[in-house]
Amino acid sequence: MTDTNGEAAWQIPTGRAAGAWQNVTVTAMPADGPAVSDSVLSRIEPRQIGFSISRESLPTITSPTLVSVVVSDVLPAQAGVATVAILDGATAVTSGAIGLSGAPSNTLWLQVPPPAVPGARIYLLTFSGNDSVTASDVPFVITWSREQQTLALDVQPPTPTGGASLGMTLTDPRGARISGTVDYSVRDMTPAANVVASGVATVDASGTARVILPTLPAGQHLATATARESATHHANNAGWPFFITQNATTTTLAPVSDAVHGTLQTFVATLSGGTDYTGVVFFSDGGTLIGLAPVVNGQATFATSLLSVGPHTIVAEYMGDAQNSASRTTASVNVLAWQSAVTAVASSTTADVGDTLTLDTTVTLSDPTAPLVAARAAVPAPTADGTVQLLVDGAPVGDPVALVAGQATLPVPTTVAGEQQISARFVPAGLTAVGSDSAASTITIAGLQQNIAVEAPASLDVVTPLPVSVTLTDLDDAPVEGRAFTLSVFGPDSGAEVFTANLVTGADGSTEVTVPPLAIGEYRIVATAAATDVLAAVSSEATVNVVPVTTTTTASASPTADHGSSRTLTATVTGDNPSGVVEFVRDGTTLGTANLADGVAVFATTALPAGTYDVVARYLGDDRNSESSGTVSVTVTAVVNPTPTPEPTVTPEPTVTPDPTPTVTPTTEPTSTPEPTPAATMTATPAPLAATGSSDAQGLFAVALLLLGAAVLTIGRMRRQRS
């Protein structure tokens, strides 16, 4: 459409290659008139386009560099492909096709190979291969430089068969291994910084090289190296501090057997793990240095006999040298004390209190390892040194006595009586020997002897207290004052003790005691003085017989009575309140008994025969009163019954009158008067003769009766006189 000015404009695609002609016809068709046409012939020229170049900022000689080509101002109708080339002089070093499109810009990356040598080079960028567009050649410069290289060092420690080694590694910036030549040197870290090794190493295609350094002293070192500059790489330096360690050594001590004090003990330290050992080994005991020995062929030997008794930890410490490290080890050894044996002999096994008694002792020492001594040289036993202590019943007594040449004499106290176990205890002066005790010996210390005498009556009755006197004297008959003793009285019943008293002698060595009245029987009186620490036990005894109280029995009878009437017989007993029974006896026949009451026993009977005779009252005694008896004459008158028929009277024979019994007058004593002899009267009434009886027989009977009565009277009178 035309504008208000009647003009119109078009963009006409050419659609043809550059250099072609094109006829363009334009037809105008007004609204109010006929169409009008016009033609024009035009030539199609190539379109001038622009392009730019960019490249890596630091290209190196060791690798290609990238160049970026950017094409701009390409119309859509000019789309296609063009060829871009980079020339190094007349030689294309790289080229590539770049697509042309209607985009504002099109990019192509080209890889430019490095030249043989570093430096600045001029390259020409050309454009061809598309008639629709055209571009001018563009020169540009690439400055090629050497690449950096990295040198790395390492040191491996020495081995038992060689020295340390220095390793070198070369890499490019991308980490790839490269070859090269390296100058190296090793200095010590002393103030002088001495060069101890140097040389040149060739790094092969593997990028590594390793050289064996000469033997270096132990300590801190510094390895430095320079990678030489090459056609492709700059020179580079590196350093590596390192420490040469010594050979790690091990020290061992040979086992040492236990030994008695004074034995020469040898310690052998053996080194391993290193080579060519030099230096010394120090030997210490519990942190105290006891000696040192040089290392010879890897061993150091030290001997000593000065170790004290007891367990020890021996340290062997190798101090090391330039090639070998220090090391240490320990070993345990036990030094034994000498065993002791004590022999003790008493001067006597018996003694009296106050006697002199000694214990002779000898102490000998012996090696406790005696069964093993054959394996090494035996050490002579030393003389025992120390003291000997007396033991009495296991307890120390007195002061210890020092040994002289292994012997000592101990005084044994004899102040205490009794049996004792004595022995000797060895107490060593130091720790080189072990103390011990001797076997115990039994000794008997007798107490001082004394005499003891007991005096007491041989007999007394049950109502009388028993006086006892006890006297103690020594062997010289001197009185012993203040001696305690026990007085005991043992009765007849199984020897049971009935009395005891604890007494003490007085200044005259004696003392008295009164024992209350005792029951009937035989008693032992025993005085016992117990043993003391000084005095021996002593005992004595006496015997006493305790008898009943002497009694008297008096008999009496009621007056004369006829036969068949009751007669009373009475017994009166004197003594210590007597009790019990009284027997009444005639001619050995017991007539009866009666109990005492208040000392009197009464017996009544009607059974006494006619006549005159003695009746004995016999008191049987009790637990305190003795037996006794008394006699009384008793007359019983016979009763004659009359004959109913009188017999002829016969002239009786004359009555024979017995001679009067002579009166015996007893010896008059001041304290008693004889009792008068009671007159015995007997009346005989002649009986008339029976008619059937013989007169001679009757006469003889009468005479016999008279004689019997006279005899009875005489006997009774004599008994009364004796009593």
What would the DSSP string read from start to end of 328-382?
A: EEEEEEEEEPBEEEEEEEES-SEEETT--EEEEEEEEEE-TTGGGGGGSPPPPPP
Q: What is the pTM of this model?
A: 0.46
The percentage of residues in the chain with a pLDDT greater than 90, rounded to a whole number, is 50
* pLDDT, tens digit (0-9, with 9 covering 90-100), for 550-596: 999 999 998 877 888 889 999 999 999 999 999 999 998 999 999 99
Adjacent-strand bridge partners of 603: 569
Distances (CA, A) of 149 to 171, 284, 421, 502: 6, 57, 103, 127
Tokens of 131: 């008639």
Domains and CATH numbers, the chain: 47-144 (2.60.40.150), 150-244 (2.60.40.1220), 250-336 (2.60.40.10), 339-446 (2.60.40.10), 450-547 (2.60.40.1930), 548-639 (2.60.40.10), 643-723 (no CATH)
With cut-offs at 50, 70 and 90, classify the pLDDT of residue 157.
Answer: confident
Is 269 exposed, middle or buried, given 0-12, 13-18 or 19+ CB atoms closer than 10 A? buried
Give the model's confidence band at 527: pLDDT under 50 very low, under 70 low, under 90 confident, else very high.
very high
pLDDT of residue 559: 86
- Residue 687 confidence (pLDDT): 36
Give residue 272's pLDDT band: very low, low, confident or very high (50, 70, 90): very high
At 651, phi and psi to the nearest 5? -75, 120
Q: Where does the pLDDT of residue 341 fall: very low under 50, low under 70, confident under 90, or very high at 90 and above?
A: very high
Q: Give mean pLDDT, residues 361-382.
A: 77
Mean pLDDT within 198-205: 94
Q: What is the dihedral of CA 46, 50, 55, 61, to 10 degrees?
A: 40
Answer yes or no: is pLDDT of 179 > 80: yes
Q: What is the pLDDT of residue 714?
A: 58
Answer whether residue 546 shows pLDDT above 80.
yes
Most confident of 3-17, 85-99, 369-383, 401-415: 401-415
pLDDT higher than 50, residue 672: no
Instruction: Determine the average pLDDT of the residues in 258-274.
Output: 91
Contact 554, 630 (CB under 8 A): yes
More confident residue, 162 or 316: 316
Report, as an integer, the average pLDDT of 426-441.
Answer: 93
Task: Return the percentage of the chain with pLDDT > 70, whole number.
Answer: 80
pLDDT at 642 over 80: no
pLDDT greater than 70 at residue 716? no
Task: Report which of residues 218 and 44 the model is more confident about.
Answer: 218
Q: Residue 669's pLDDT band (boundaries 50, 70, 90)?
A: very low
What's residue 577's pLDDT? Answer: 93
Confidence band for 214, pLDDT divided at 50, 70 and 90: confident
Please tell me the predicted confidence (pLDDT) of residue 451. Answer: 94
Q: Transcribe 635-665 into DSSP letters.
A: EEE--PPPPSSPPPP-PPPPPPPPPPPPPP-
What mean pLDDT is predicted for residues 683-690? 35
pLDDT at position 255 over 80: yes
Average pLDDT over residues 234-247: 87
* pLDDT mean across residues, the chain: 83
Residue 34 has pLDDT above 90, yes or no: no
Tell me phi and psi for residue 264, to 5 degrees: -75, 115
Top mean-pLDDT range of 53-57, 93-97, 242-246: 93-97
For residues 110-129, average pLDDT:
87
Give which of 522, 524, 525 is closest to 470, Cα–Cα.
525
Please count the other Cβ atoms lying within 10 Å of the Cβ belonging to residue 359.
23
Q: How many Å apart are CA 500 and CA 503, to the nearest integer?
A: 10
478 SS3 class: coil
